[in-house]
Structure 1
Amino acid sequence: MGITKLKVFGDSALIILQTVGEWKMRDTKLVPYHECLKEIMEEFEGISFEYLSRSHNQFVDALATFSFLLQVTGGVEVEPLKIEVLMKLAYCMVVTEEPDGKQWYYDIIRYIQRQEFPEGTIPTDRKYIMKMAS
């Protein structure tokens, strides 16, 4: 990819401090990983490691979850991910009133209680309601 400088963030102070050499590697199971990391580090002109407390890495956790859910097969090009930072918390933008005056789960409850679907629904909608009810 042509990357020459890399800044690595981690949420394990132990691993970060062992990687930068401030603490000694004691766990023999981690030694092979540490050796592999040393080889990879030589491929960069500059590489740094920075500790992030768990409270400051919510974004990283979200990306990790997203990458787990995303299944990309070989040869598929994925467009860059556009991320927008909102100026207020998401719960501040919650819908306060439903257009039909009923809660979002009304149709699901109705299906569970009476096995009825809303009038005019198509098979796909019915399938979705049954899935949500389960």
Structure 2
Amino acid sequence: MGLNMTIDLGVQELIVLGDSDLLIRQAQGEWKTRDLKLLPYKQCVEDLSKRFRSIEFRYIPIIYNELADTLATLASMLPYPGNTCITPLEIQLRDQHGYCNTLEVESDCEPWYLHIKNFLQTGKCPEHANGDQKRTIRHLTSGFFLGGEILYKRTPDLNLLRCVDVENAEKIMNGIYAGVCGSHMNGYVLVKKILRAG
């Protein structure tokens, strides 16, 4: 289901993280799949994997993947109606410091990420861009991910940060600063609240 969802989103490059050493090594082709019940699943993964420009399977020990383990346990308790579309569950988990960059308002009122988003959508740079600017835009896009109409910035630990324009950033900041999330918080807690709201 996860591979199908990423294909539907138009993802071309994917890293699959799993806490089953056996399944990851089978998906990587390092180990053979001997269980007859698993052969159709292995074939399905191989077929779906061909639809990506690049796909990588990585093993993560379960002690570093508690959230996925909890979700798998919950999912196993629910009946799955075969003909129902399941909307993906969006979960935000932040136990680290958040970082932000201050950006000046663009003179043309366009969002700061407009050229990056356009390049990911169309594969084309702006007509007025020179060679250096085009190289910069192509280089920058490798650090971003487009999910539908929403642009995300990739972090080194594979988290995605939603990109917002000045207007939405001000709404988020004003809502939090006005005390919606509590008025007595230090800077670290405030940054976490802002990132959750984004």
1:32 corresponds to which of 27, 40, 51: 40
Corresponding residue of 2:93:
83
CA shift at 1:62, angstroms?
Answer: 3.7
The 5-angstrom pairing of residues 86-125 of structure 1 reads none
Can you give the 5+ residue segments of structure 2 that lack an aligned partner in the other structure?
1-8, 79-83, 98-198
Alpha-carbon distance in structure 2 between the residues aligned to 1:75 and 1:25: 30
Aligned length: 86
1:43 corresponds to which of 31, 46, 51: 51
Corresponding residue of 2:12:
4
Corresponding residue of 1:111:
none
Which is greater in Rg?
1
Q: What percent identity do the matched residue pairs reach?
A: 36
Give per-residue Cα distances to partners, 1:46-81, cap 9 Å, x unaligned.
Answer: 1000111111111222444576799xxx79977954
2:64 corresponds to which of 39, 56, 62: 56
Secondary structure in structure 2 of the residue aligned to 1:84 = coil
**Following superposition, which runs of at least 4 residues in structure 1 exceed 2 angstroms of deviation?**
61-70, 74-84
Query: 1 or 2 for the larger relative contact order (CA 8 Å, sep ≥6)?
Result: 1
Can you give the 5+ residue segments of structure 1 that lack an aligned partner in the other structure?
88-134
